[in-house]
Structure 1
Amino acid sequence: MWTLFKFFTINIKKTIECCELNLQCHLGNPSPFTPRPAHHRNKPKSRPTTSQTRCVYSRNPETQLEFRTSTHPRNKSTFIPTIKLILLVRMLNRQYLDLRCSSNDPGRVRDERCRIDEHPTDPNAQLSSQIEPCGVENFNYKPEAGDCPTVNALRERITEAGKPPPYFPQLNDNVPAIDEGPMGPVGPWATGRPVFSPVNGMTGIRPVVDRYSMTRYTPAQWRGHNKTFFDQSSRMISNARTLAKDVREHNSRVYRETDKNQLENRDRLSGRAGEIHYWKMELERAIIELTDEIELLEVEHRRVKQSLSVLTIPESIADQLLELKAVKTRVEFDLTDKIDAYANDSACIGLTNDSPLIMMKPGATRVPPEQSSPEGYDNFTKVNLESSENTRQKSIALRAALNDTYLKVVKDLRQQATEVDLALTDNVNVTEQVCQALEKELVNCLNQLSDTEKLIEELRGANRGLEEAMKVAQTRLDIRHERRNVENCRDIPQYGLIEEVKIIGENLTSMAGQLRQAEETQAGLVKSRGDLEREIMVKRKTLYIDRDRGQLLRSFYPSAEALSGHV
């Protein structure tokens, strides 16, 4: 196959060369599609005379290629097929097709980026004074309306007549294209329907198809495509300038608001610190007064302890002292919290933007669930102060009425001591009587328990006798079942034995029920005996405490002189 292809290729080349020589002989000049020899390149071209055949191209499809022959000695039918073949072969040549496509179709240009600085400009032209690099030193630069590097560059490239550059959309881009009419069989716009000839069939040559290339865009679309990049760049630069202006305004507003808020919060913290300082001083004064009152009350407490050394601490003084200490503890806790809060607010007041201790604290704006409100804060401090003052006043009143309390307490104590002695004596007598009655009841319970145990033994012996009688009756019935034939009769003795077994079984059942009741009675008597013994033991211990210990200790009760503290 490859050999055949090479053979046809060589034949085609030879045929083309012969056709070109034949055409030169007919026309008297080189082919319009063949490069001129070197010795003819510098010579001026001469127009063909009327005696020569001229090849005239026309936009009319009917006269697209016309051969005019006037005085040429040869007939034009001899070289017209040769002209067609050469045209088709040259049009299919790769170099010729690339030249045609690059010259007639703007969409097949090289894929290169279009840069503004590559376009020809005035060598003496200066850069726009409005173009300034965006840096830190130019951050305060304020753009002017319509200031854009791309727009400034395009203004310099617009001609004096006001026409846009050739790579931008033109005024006639929207004008409809002129229809070129139907295409002929040959030429640069061939339809692909040439007249068949033996040479075409042998070489396989086809008409040109550059009209039906892969191009998808028109020159107007290409220029519009270029303009989109400049429009996009202008829009983005304008947006960037607007954004920079908005950012500067926003930053200025944010700085003003931040400084304002910082000063306001500093003033609020100062006021809060003053309020905390006021309450701190009030709490310190209350603690000093409570401390003095506690010392005075402790002196009275020691006096009371000396006067009533044989008794426990009076409840009134003890409760009052505990209440004073509790109030003092609460006030001290509140004072400690306020000292810490005052120190924190003082530290916050001293913080500035240049302080070395400031840093980002994520979550600092959260509200703790245990955080109090200003009203609750004031109420809590006031309640503590009022409570401390009320407790202190109660302690003062207690100390003032202490002498009267002494006399009343001594009288009440002596009277109560006499009543206690009488009640204790009566209780001891009653306890002795109860203890004696319980001992008698315990004796009766033990006697009945003994009788019940004897009854249980009798019932168990009777059950054993009935069981033996049951065995005898059942054995007799079993032996009588061994009788044979007609002798195995249900006679009167048979019925008598069956009735005996039934009666003995009923008696055994009734005696078993009586035995069960007797055992339950025995268990109840045992439980009653245990309860009586336990209660008697408790009563005897009570007598030991009330009679042997209590009355002995009550005999050492202090006298009225000792209770008043004079002894």
Structure 2
Amino acid sequence: MSGELLVSRPFVDTRAVSHDLPPRSQESIIKENMFPSSGLATVGYRTAKYTPDEWGAKNNSTFAQATGDRDNAERIRYESKSLHKETETRTLRSQAEGTRYLGERLQEINFWQSELHRHIEELTREIEMLLGQKRRLEKALEATEIPYAIATDNLTCRERRLGPDLVKDEVEEQLLREVELIRSVQALLKKTLNQTVNQIRADREVKQTLEQDWCDKSQAYSMDVQCGRYSNQSMDIQNHPSSLQLQEHVSMRDSWVRFSEENVSLARREEQASVELRRLVEGMLGDVAEDLRAQCAAVEQAFTLRCQQLGEARARLEQHLAQILEETGAQERSIRMLRQALHDKEAPMRVAESRLYTRAQRPNVELCRDAPQMRLVGEVGEIFSSMQALQDQLSAARGSLRELEDTRMALEKDLSCKKHSLMIDEQKCMSLRTRYPTVLALSGY
């Protein structure tokens, strides 16, 4: 047996490591192991033994360690329970706040969706009404072609008037005014039609923008509704660590609100522009129809007055022609009478001249200038004077007859012109003007 003294084993407490306790210092460990073993009791033994003091100290140390560990465990357990309640409360409050924010966001999105939907419906109605106005403008523009054709045809027909009737009268002036009015009306209708087409295009573009915005908000609303339905018991929830990172193109709430307000404001401007344009088109179509019908009435009144004047002129010409024809007949009878009178004077002239010639053959003193001789000479002179007067009167009658014939021909020609002009104005022009469009047709209905 060895005579060496055996020292006690160093005491190493492994519970500090197992229970995550702070390690004790080396000095405390040495103090716990400073009690030497009894030399006589350990003589002849290989193992070291503790003294009662060591045993008591060891128990006290164990008891103290257990007490400290128990207190530390109770403290940690209390802190864990408090932390659990605190985190649970904070998590529930944060989740409830997030749900509340989602609800407020849904209300805001729903408000803007309602605004967008209302303006989309309003723009749809405006587009439909503008399309109706566009069709009215097209029909009104098409309807003006008939008055234009009528007016130009009237002017062309009246160019075929003859002689002095080819005059620039009130009818022609009114027809020229009508042509200019129709041209200006057509230009105005075309300009208004282009404005209407542009406004319809603008309304459709704004409507498309609003519909796109409404679709985006509807999709966002559905997503937020889905997010609001998520709960801790939901089966379709999972971790998305990358969702904490904000995208670069994300918008801010102020810019989101400003974008929606700008869209609604743009829709309101286009709606107001559409309403004003519809009012303009409505009033313009009414004014155009009234102006065209008023000018048509003025032209027809001028035609009526002109036809009345032509009728009166024709009646007077017919009256003068009848008088001329009657006078021509009387003058022809007068000429025949004068010629007969001249013929009747030839026999008395031959008688008187034969008597003078025979008496000029009297012999010697019997050839005297007696009363019969003087009477015969006077008779011959009287008959010659009568015949000369009748001849002059016959020449005057024949001249008057020629003048009457010329006047008759002039009256007949003028009467023919009046009848021709009256036929053009009454049968050609005024009958064609019965096809003039009504106020409703000119208004685009």
TM-score by length of 2: 0.40
Question: Whose helix proportion is higher, 1 or 2?
Answer: 2
Higher relative contact order (CA 8 A, sep 6+): 2
TM-score by length of 1: 0.32
